[in-house]
Structure 1
Amino acid sequence: MSRTDADVVFLGGSVVTIDDARPQAEALAVRDGRIAAVGDAADVRALVGPGTEVVDLAGGCLLPGFVEAHGHPVSLGFGTDGPIRDIRPTTVRTAEGVMAAIREAVATADPEHGAYLFGWDGLLQKGLVEPTRAWLDTLSPDRPLAVITNSAHAVYANSAALRASGITRDTPDPVGAHFVRDADGEPTGKGLEGGALAAIVGSALARRPPGPDTLRTNLAELNGVGVTTVGELAFHASRRPMIDALRAEGGLTARLRLYEASDPTLSTAVPLLNGDDMVRQVGIKTWADGSPWNGNIATSFPYLDTHATRVVLGLPCSHHGETNYDREAYRAIAEAYFAEGWQLACHAQGDVTTDMVLDVWEELLAQHPDMTDRRLRLEHCGAMTREQYDRAARLGVTCSLFMAHVRYWGEVLVDDLFGPRGEEWVAARSALGAGVRISLHNDGTVTPPDPLGNVRTAVTRRTESGRVLATHETITVEQALRAQTLDAAWQLHADDVIGSLTPGKYADLVVLSADPRDTAPEAIGDIAVRATYLEGAPV
């Protein structure tokens, strides 16, 4: 084969480049894992040689590989593999199924270590109520029993699990987390945020941490829906051997961009310049508040007084929630990493939380005017307002939007939790209208990876049941595709090598059965992923 020949050529369909220089093409050629040419069919066909593989798109569509800017492929296994049983709503849909799984877990649990389950969501698994310590004691009087919510922002433990964890009224709250206590100061069994979860279920996780096969499976699921690059937004250095082992086997089938979970010591041993185009740590992740499904997001408006808030979530009337840190504590964390040059990614759901984070970031940017192109990231942005998006745009802040909140919890947001404020949850058009670059994501453990489903939801704002919320916050198909490709890559500091079908970039590609731009909006999520390629090789 002449080195002027292509290794692979794609013909016979639409080529959507997400490249403003040439948005549409007829064909694409790959050589040595990179995009060699994009253009008219006749011009690209000239690169076909004796050894060139010619892929017929058969009327389908070629796009850049999708980018999941906010995922958890490395940490996902800790909640779905090993000693913790998976009861997420996408795995166990009914309350009856959840109860059966809990009873089985208790009956088969090791008497010393107990039973641990992940994925409880009484808002979707209708019929469940708040799993209080007293109620869990009736299910498992002697053995430890703990359930982690689907958001992973709360855990509920029985008395035996608290004893096994050594948690008493005198146990101090972890940094950025806390144990809920009753009027007498005794722990109720409910813990909020990562530090509390680690204290209660950490020993269970340590017994059998997930290995390379778990990561292989998670990446295969991502490849199956067209994802070729994924951000890991809760990375810990202890998980690096898992990545290295799979890479040594040749089993990494998607690029990884790692965000280390912020540590109370405010330090990281990883150099700012590290890794390569396949695996690189690019930022630090903090959690300024929690989940709307657990009542721990800080909002200027109250939760409604409904059966869902009172009985399912156990919240008091007119509950508002709070941030995980006060302003000064969050500033200390952000400043420590910002001063070292790290990109900051901060989980912020409530509008009060968003104000606090933007206040701190504005101060840091003013103090370090030489630190440009930091691409500071706000994550999820559920209750973020148009005014806050305007402010974010002025500061150069980018937002990764959890569009699946609208798809799966749309009715819950409006009818059960927030009323009219829930209508405009994840306001994508407001973000783009303000000039904010956005990505769309599924958050790994919380909802299954589904880029085309995200595009459909962003374009229609249609829930699973068919209800449509706030049509004035819909965006175009082209904008949604860009948010799943080039702009998501830009958030990950990877747009120089992926995200668009531009000559010289890696040939990370997805072949679809139809062009989303020519598909009825409500049917975009039904488009089939025919193939996914990493550097021109099918994965």
Structure 2
Amino acid sequence: MPTSVADLVVRAAAVHTMAGAAPATALAVRDGRVLRAGTDADVRELIGPGTKVLNLGDRAVLPGINDAHLHGAWLGALWPATLFADDGTPGAGPEKPLRTAAERRAAILRAGEILAALGITSYTEPGLGPGEDDGRIGAFGMSVVEQYRELAAEGLLRARVTALWLYGELDGPSTFDTFRTGLTTVDGSSPDPRRLNFRGVKIFADGIPPMRSAYTHHCYADGSHAHLLVGGADDPEREENFTRMVLAAHEAGLQVGVHATGDRAIELMLDAVERAREERDVDLGHYVIHGDLVNAAQLKRMARLGVGLSAQAGIAVRTAGVVDTALGLGSSETAWPLQEALDAGVPLCLTSDAPVLPPDWRKEIAAADQWMGPAEDVRQRMETLLRCYTVHPAQQDGAASWKGTLAPGMAADLCVLSADPYAVTPAELPEVEVDLTVLDGQIVFERSGLFA
């Protein structure tokens, strides 16, 4: 008899572990971790009287999906509304302010339901903290942090949450003094670091190209120029204050996620990271958020410095026209170079930025495939894009040693699809249903009582 008996065994047409091995057809789970992946014969000895066995038939199993840039509380408050229209027109979006602790708690729980139904078992809240305590929406301040802490302590979070601290305003300005104060005074403790982890800080370097607020070396079509969102009397002082923020966070051992869409903002961020690594050579997983106008030389630097990219293909598809209007005809053709980022070795995370866009990762994969153009090997393209929602986000979370694949010992976070994603094209993926979601070996979503 084996020394360990499984709590859960799943049998399926394909179990894609994303761990470099050929697809398995069975997976055994114990105590929230993968015990073994292989054939039915490989796991049969792990089945005991108390083992729950799910025969999934023609379905496929993936590691749980990880959306590495998603505003959970805001999503729960707004859904099914989103901020971007399909024509690419950005707007303020509908306002549903979260005024009370009960409303914030309900919004987070609602987000958990929405995401579980999509097979999403991890997400990053990219900006929570004192900078938004007086925000008009109420979805990003310290009161939201406290609700996340309470839900984690009660075991009620239906996804793993990584959070970035925000010491300025969401989509708005910050100063070095408030940033430095935040680094020294904000409590990053968590009742369960595997369910709620305060990993780093977010800095808004600039805005977005359609609003002519991306910090770029190029002149906008109307002759205007943008400035950094960091406080300062002029561009050199703002750039110096931004650099000081990155250096301070790096010295404190915190990951930095920089909202940077303009090439000038991205260059400044990379200069700061390079300087930080010279002073303290440790890879903290810093990354560029959005990176709309990143160029080839910067991608090479990002790969060398270990700087990742968190991008939204759905925004590229929707806003190409308005980017051309803002920066000049043809500008969008070199924006969002997703394939070039992958070719350069940059860890690329595809994300939804929900509720800017819907949190449906299947649609984002389809959008990425559309933006990247035809693939010679469709199966390899699917593999690559799935890694952008599993393996790479786990790396961004600093959690690649325990989640993101289904190798033995890894977290038993599963997304079960109605068909094998490798048997369809990325454009067809949105039609494939999510039938089951498992977090830590426990079922958190089941479609239509399929496995009752």
- Place the TM-score, normalised by the shorter chain, in its bin: 0.7 to 0.9
Cα offset, 1:452, TM superposition = 1.6
SS at match of 2:53: strand
How many pairs are equivalent?
410
Cα offset, 1:471, TM superposition = 7.7
Q: What are the Cα deviations for residues 333-368 of structure 1, in whole angstroms up to 9, with x where unaligned?
A: 222221111111101101111111111221111122
Give me the whole-angstrom Cα distance separating, in 1, the residues matched to 2:240 and 2:84: 37
Equivalence map 1:433-448=2 (5 Å): 433-448=343-358
1:74 matched to 2:73: yes
Cα offset, 1:283, TM superposition = 0.4
Cα offset, 1:265, TM superposition = 4.2
Q: TM-score, normalised to structure 2's length?
A: 0.83
Q: What are the Cα deviations for residues 255-279 of structure 1, in whole angstroms up to 9, with x where unaligned?
A: 0111101352413334677552111
Cα offset, 1:39, TM superposition = 0.8
Which of structures 1 and 2 has the bigger CA Rg?
Answer: 1
The residue identity in structure 2 corresponding to 1:68 is D
Kept in 2: contact 1:67–1:485 (CA 8 A): yes
Kept in 2: contact 1:284–1:345 (CA 8 A): yes
Give me the whole-angstrom Cα distance separating, in 1, the residues matched to 2:425 and 2:99: 49
1:392 matched to 2:302: yes
The residue identity in structure 2 corresponding to 1:47 is L
Give me the whole-angstrom Cα distance separating, in 2, the residues matched to 1:230 and 1:461: 24
1:124 matched to 2:17: no
Kept in 2: contact 1:15–1:63 (CA 8 A): yes
1:365 matched to 2:277: yes
* Structure 1 residues 240 and 393: alpha-carbon distance in aligned structure 2, compared to 1, 3 A threshold: same
Q: 1:324 aligns with which of 222, 226, 229?
A: 229
* Structure 1 residues 38 and 352: alpha-carbon distance in aligned structure 2, compared to 1, 3 A threshold: same
1:45 matched to 2:31: no
Kept in 2: contact 1:351–1:385 (CA 8 A): yes
Q: Mean alpha-carbon deviation: is it higher for 410-419 or for 242-251?
A: 410-419
Give me the whole-angstrom Cα distance separating, in 1, the residues matched to 2:383 and 2:375: 17
SS at match of 2:402: coil
Q: 2:215 aligns with which of 279, 292, 298?
A: 298
Task: Identify the residue that residue 521 of structure 1 maps to in structure 2.
Answer: 426
* Structure 1 residues 288 and 409: alpha-carbon distance in aligned structure 2, compared to 1, 3 A threshold: same
1:339 matched to 2:256: no
1:404 matched to 2:314: yes
Give me the whole-angstrom Cα distance separating, in 2, the residues matched to 1:287 and 1:59: 45
1:378 matched to 2:288: yes
Task: Identify the residue that residue 453 of structure 1 maps to in structure 2.
Answer: 363
> Which blocks of at least 5 consecutive residues in structure 2 are unaligned?
130-141, 169-177, 231-237, 445-452
Task: Identify the residue that residue 115 of structure 2 maps to in structure 1.
Answer: 222
Kept in 2: contact 1:219–1:254 (CA 8 A): yes
> Which blocks of at least 5 consecutive residues in structure 1 are unaligned?
94-121, 126-147, 153-200, 305-316, 463-467
The CA RMSD measured in Å over matched residues stands at 2.8
Give me the whole-angstrom Cα distance separating, in 1, the residues matched to 2:88 and 2:199: 35
The residue identity in structure 1 corresponding to 2:258 is C
Task: Identify the residue that residue 233 of structure 2 maps to in structure 1.
Answer: none
Kept in 2: contact 1:68–1:442 (CA 8 A): yes
The residue identity in structure 1 corresponding to 2:226 is G
Give me the whole-angstrom Cα distance separating, in 2, the residues matched to 1:250 and 1:368: 37
Q: Percent identity?
A: 29
Give me the whole-angstrom Cα distance separating, in 1, the residues matched to 2:256 and 2:153: 30
Equivalence map 1:82-161=2 (5 Å): 88-89=83-84, 123-124=88-89, 149-150=92-93
Cα offset, 1:240, TM superposition = 2.3
* Greater RCO, 1 or 2 (C-alpha within 8 Å, sep 6+): 2
Kept in 2: contact 1:225–1:450 (CA 8 A): yes
SS at match of 2:357: coil
Q: 2:145 aligns with which of 234, 237, 240?
A: 240
Task: Identify the residue that residue 352 of structure 1 maps to in structure 2.
Answer: 264
